[in-house]
């Protein structure tokens, strides 16, 4: 399913998941995760975000929120980073499109889960494929917070078909989850 890639550094090798590996695979569920208030402060400083709904609890409460909320871009970035850190990285070489629907606010220190599923693949050429994915962010009761749809260019498996279509159960460390 994955292949070891030797980077420029002689002692660093990466295992990669290819486009054929994600099509037909069970949805991957991750979490619980949370973005702490301290992490939010650091990310806001790093990105230069200045909207008061993200920076000020008082402002957010005056606008029918429980407190300041996490910006959508941070949710997208955080969930992508979590996947790479806690799984095998996918051989993504380009992001063609990403659209997100933010259904309700996500607050600092609030645990959440998310799933990733790839639902279509089209061949670009013998090296690249276009994969449509969907990411759903939800809490322990499966109440949705955000839905992201991404269209990514991924490397295709060199010289062969995927084993993912023949796999009937999730990979070790993964659990099937509701979309």
For residue range 34-71, list pLDDT tens digits in order: 999 999 999 999 988 889 999 999 999 999 999 999 99
pLDDT at residue 75 is higher than 80:
yes
pLDDT at residue 14 is higher than 90:
no
Helices (H), the chain: 19-22, 37-47, 52-55, 57-61, 72-86
pTM for the full model? 0.77
- Domains of the chain, earliest start first: 2-162 (3.10.129.10)
Cα 133 to Cα 149: distance, rounded to the nearest angstrom: 6
The mean predicted confidence, pLDDT, of the chain is 83
Share of the chain above pLDDT 70, in %: 81
pLDDT digit string (tens) for 105-153?
999 999 999 999 998 999 999 999 999 999 999 999 999 999 999 999 9
Which of 77 and 172 is assigned the larger pLDDT?
A: 77
């Amino acid at each position: 399913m994955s292949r070891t890639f030797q980077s420029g550094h002689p002692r660093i090798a990466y295992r990669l998941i290819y486009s054929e590996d994600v099509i037909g695979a069970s949805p991957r569920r991750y979490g619980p995760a949370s973005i702490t208030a301290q992490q939010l402060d650091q990310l806001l400083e790093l990105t230069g975000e200045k909207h008061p709904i993200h920076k000020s609890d008082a402002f957010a409460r005056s606008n029918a929120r429980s407190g300041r909320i996490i910006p959508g871009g941070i949710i997208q970035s955080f969930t992508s980073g979590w996947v790479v850190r806690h799984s095998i990285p996918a051989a993504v070489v380009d992001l063609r499109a990403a659209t997100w629907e933010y259904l309700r606010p996500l607050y600092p220190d609030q645990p959440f889960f998310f799933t990733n599923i790839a639902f279509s693949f089209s061949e670009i050429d013998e090296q690249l494929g276009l994969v449509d994915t969907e990411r759903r962010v939800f809490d322990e009761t499966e109440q949705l917070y955000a839905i992201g749809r991404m269209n990514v260019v991924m490397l295709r498996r060199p010289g062969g078909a995927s084993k993912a279509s023949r796999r009937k159960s999730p990979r070790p460390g993964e659990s099937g989850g509701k979309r």
